[in-house]
Amino acid sequence: MTSYRDAGVDIAAKMRMIAALKQSVESTQTPAVLAGVGAFGGCLDLSTALPGLQQPVLVVSTDGVGTKTLVAAAVGRFDTVGADLVNHCINDILCQGATPLLFMDYIAAARLEPAIVAPLVEGIANACKEAGIPLLGGETAEMPGVYAEGAFDLAGTIIGVVERDALITGRTIQAGDAILALPSTGLHTNGYSLARKVLAPLGYDARPEALGGQTVGEALLAVHRSYANEIKTLRLGGVEIRGLAHITGGGLWDNLPRILPEGVGAVLWRGSWHVPPIFGLIVERAGIDEHEAFHVFNMGLGMLVVVPQQSVDGALAVVPDARAVGEIVTWDGQGPRVRLE
Amino acid sequence: MTSYRDAGVDIAAKMRMIAALKQSVESTQTPAVLAGVGAFGGCLDLSTALPGLQQPVLVVSTDGVGTKTLVAAAVGRFDTVGADLVNHCINDILCQGATPLLFMDYIAAARLEPAIVAPLVEGIANACKEAGIPLLGGETAEMPGVYAEGAFDLAGTIIGVVERDALITGRTIQAGDAILALPSTGLHTNGYSLARKVLAPLGYDARPEALGGQTVGEALLAVHRSYANEIKTLRLGGVEIRGLAHITGGGLWDNLPRILPEGVGAVLWRGSWHVPPIFGLIVERAGIDEHEAFHVFNMGLGMLVVVPQQSVDGALAVVPDARAVGEIVTWDGQGPRVRLE
């Protein structure tokens, strides 16, 4: 943490919290880190972190976890949203082919409760360790009057790097290419306003039959999955990845078109992938149609990977839980660019 | 903005806001930007942005503007806090000798009002343009239930780079060195909880005699000054900068020691720099002592620059509003490490 805004209450508890945070943060440090906790700016030696780059391109993404924080607060479990944040950001820069370098966090609340902030940062730090990157710094801010009592916000920024020649842009995508899906674990970090509205009345402790033994809270807090290993495996396996779309806010309709070049659209085949049961429960209770469901939620499609048809078998062999879910088609600008069949 | 969480109210107004934001953001783009608005991750070609680096070190800082946002909301002026955020972050990484490369923002509120978000982003974009860096991306999040009605939060992350040999660490600072101060414009982004508590009762439109014609709101919203040009001028002028301390949360007492090597402390001379009148007004009304004042506020010391004595005249010649405010002294670990004389 590069700084800590202090509202002057219970300093001893805060000092313990800061010590715990420092330990979590330091546990993520790598040899490339020249300055972390306590520095005005965190410093990472790019030439040590990823040596030999000819034309390094920084790839950066800032994101939050939205109102998933309110579910975490209601359930009283805080480490999972920390991991959600990191994994969400990792997936965003994966879409451009970047290797993550470092993470920065931002945590703010009316009052920073050690019982909340410590597991939050631990969750962030653990996800960073899993990705092999340092939590290089961040900010924890206490802002009475800005935040509702008991609520908090969590955002972060990831920085990655990619050789300019290896940038994934989607521009080589062409009609006939295959679309693979890497499965989501649940809502990831989108659609929580609607999900809370229709599921909170059930109670987060409820175990509706549809969830097969899981509580509503558990299903809603399922950790946003990082696809770093799967994408690495595909690349090492020689699969030519032409495009990657992380299905987040705006769902399938808004996210897949972000990587499609002019003149092409996409068809996805209903029933070709597993839709986690939490989505059925929400859609039924909310009474929304399929189009709206695929706008608000990822509906089981965590990451879409566009590859040439001849790469499909090889890809499915090395990443067993990937599914072939559709294909790229020509699109004349009329009608929906992405559709379900 | 890389994404936009939508709560589904007044879509037309939001589309207009997004278009305005897009324009603000795009106005900051530089030739090094390969992908900005709309990409999963913003992309910046490091080899174009700052060519010829042998061993590039990334220097990164995340920060917020604290409850200065509540003053902005009360006064109804939003562009200045946008600039505060960028300049605060620039100064943080200047402390390590870094040249800013790009900025990412995070704006969140219960409801994102176009009348607030548009000037906020414009203020951010203008400060980025002034610094010659792109606003590469960010996140705007609408989170009813997390934020108090009418309140918003604003945070950001800056990424800069420095040649490893040129990193400023403070480790060459020695007893006898001079301490120069670059003046602050006011509170910058720290101490607003106390300032609001004691000044809000006056009213932000009040013009107390001490402020010489300025309103309380104007004095409190004075823009956090960026010292990028001054530091550049000093370096181009051949001044050897041994250490830089940005005086933010924790004030003089917490920030100057962050750069001091073992065995040295510092003495600052009262009356050797200008203390903006807003500080006198707050300190008097709050009834706090000098030590507390220098803990909560910068008290006119925006950035401290440690240089060898023989560089002082040259430094003051090229940066006319710098002041020689103290010196580095030996410190045996007993008594306060930094003191006023």
Mind telling me how many Å the CA of B325 is from chain A's nearest CA? 21
- End-of-domain residue from the set B122, B141, B166: B166
For the cut 70, the answer to whether the pLDDT of residue A38 exceeds it is: no
Residues of chain B neighbouring A144 (CB-CB closer than 8 A): 67, 193
Question: Could you tell me if A56 lies within 8 Å of chain B, comparing CB atoms?
Answer: yes
Task: Kindly determine whether residue B46 and residue A58, on different chains, have CB atoms separated by under 8 Å.
Answer: yes
For chain B, what is the domain count? 2
Summary mean pLDDT of chain A: 91
Segment B83-134, tens digit of pLDDT? 999 999 999 999 999 999 999 999 999 888 888 999 999 999 999 999 999 9
pLDDT of residue A1 exceeding 80, the answer is no
Mean pLDDT of B175-198: 96
The answer on B215 and B107 residing in a single domain is no
Looking at the fold, whether B78 and B207 belong to one and the same domain comes out as: no
Please tell me whether residues A121 and A192 are part of one structural domain: no
Tens digit of each residue's pLDDT (9 = 90 or more) over A50-70 = 878 888 999 999 999 988 999
Does residue A29 sit in the same domain as residue A60? Answer: yes
Residues A192 and A333 placed together within one structural domain of the fold: yes
A105 touches B: beta carbon within 8 Å: yes
Diameter over CA atoms, chain A: 65
Same domain, B234 and B330: yes
Residue A256: closest C-alpha in chain B: B40
Digit-coded pLDDT (tens) for B225-282 = 999 999 999 999 999 999 999 999 999 999 999 999 999 999 999 999 999 999 999 9
Side-chain half-sphere CA neighbours of B69 within 13 A: 29
Are B240 and B321 found together in one domain?
yes
Q: Which residues span the domain enclosing B16?
A: 3-166
Last residue of a domain, one of B144, B166, B188: B166
Q: How far is B256 from chain A (nearest CA, A)?
A: 11
SS3 of B95-133: the string is CCCCEEEEEEEEEEECCCCHHHHHHHHHHHHHHHHHHCC
Q: Would residue A173 count as lying in a domain?
A: no
Residues A36 and A137: beta-carbon distance below 8 Å: yes
Of the three residues A131, A166, A201, the one that is the final residue of a domain is A166
ipTM score of the complex? 0.89
Confidence of residue B35 (pLDDT cuts 50, 70, 90): confident
A295 with A192, same domain: the answer is: yes
Tell me, yes or no, whether A40 and A143 share the same domain. Answer: yes
B57 touches chain A (CB under 8 A): yes
In a domain, residue B171? The reply is no
Q: Is the pLDDT of residue B3 over 80?
A: no
d(CA B334, CA B23): 56
Q: Are residues A162 and A212 in the same domain?
A: no
Q: Torsion angle of alpha carbons A230, A231, A236, A241, nearest 10°?
A: 140
- Chain B 147-206, residues with CB within 8 Å of chain A CB atoms: 147-148, 151-153, 155, 157-162, 164, 167, 169, 190, 193
CATH for A216: 3.90.650.10
Whether A58 and A91 map to the same domain: the answer is yes
Residue A185 lies in a domain: yes
Residue A162 included in any domain: yes
Separation in Å, CA A91 to CA A259, B33, B62? 14, 20, 20
Select from B90, B157, B168, B194 the residue whose CB has the most chain A CBs within 10 Å, as the one to mutate to test that interface: B157
Mutation target to probe the B interface, by most B beta carbons within 10 A, among A34, A107, A146, A303 is A146
Same domain? A268 vs A149: no
Q: One-letter amino acid identity for B106?
A: Y
| B62 contact A CB<8A | yes
**Residue at token pair 């390094």:** A56
- Once rounded to an integer, what is the mean pLDDT over residues A318-330? 97
B6 pLDDT above the threshold of 80: no
Q: Looking at residue B92, which CATH number applies to its domain? A: 3.30.1330.10
B264, B336 contact by CB (below 8 A): no
Q: Write down the pTM of the prediction.
A: 0.91
Q: Is the pLDDT of residue B37 over 50?
A: yes
Q: Examine residue A45 and state whether it is found in any structural domain, yes or no.
A: yes
pLDDT digits (tens, 9 = 90+) for B13-24: 677 777 778 888
Residue B173 maps to a domain: no
The pLDDT value recorded for residue A11 is 63
Count other C-beta atoms under 10 Å from residue B74's C-beta: 16
- pLDDT surpassing 60 at residue B216: yes
Answer whether residue A189 is part of any domain: yes
Flag whether B172 is in a domain: no
pLDDT in tens, A126-183: 999 999 999 999 998 888 888 888 888 999 999 999 999 999 999 999 999 999 999 9
For residues B92 and A1, is the Cβ–Cβ distance under 8 A?
A: no
- Per-residue pLDDT, A225: 97
